[in-house]
Structure 1
Amino acid sequence: MERLQLNVYIASASDGFFTVKAMSMPELSAQARTLEEIPDAVRSAAAVVAGQSPEDFEVVLDF
């Protein structure tokens, strides 16, 4: 099965967290403490929003 690519961006960074959003899924909002944690946080949030498995999503961080 082909994975859905989510291009995400850092909407804010405060209090030790990055808040990440996706243009293609406006209802998605995820938080992570480090840049390395962003993909897993986004996959988990996208899975809840879309009702799919976290493995169904590929995350690309746009700067």
Structure 2
Amino acid sequence: MSEDKVTSRQGFAIGGGLMFGTGLGFFMIPYLGGTAVVGGIIAGLGAGLLTAAFMKNKL
């Protein structure tokens, strides 16, 4: 398998980060308004990508 392919566990890390960020964004709507969802998605995607990148050998 090539080194630059994304494994299924890395995909789950990215997807989990997106779901977490989206949920967090929806939770923060009453406090921050509609932009909270976009910020939550971006933060969740960043967290998922960081997890997938730094845990590459573990996932």
- Please tell me the TM-score bracket, short chain as reference: 0.3 to 0.5
Which structure is larger by alpha-carbon Rg, 1 or 2?
2
Q: Higher strand proportion, which one? A: 1
The structure showing larger relative contact order (alpha-carbon pairs under 8 Å, at least 6 residues apart) is 2
Q: TM-score, normalised by structure 2?
A: 0.36
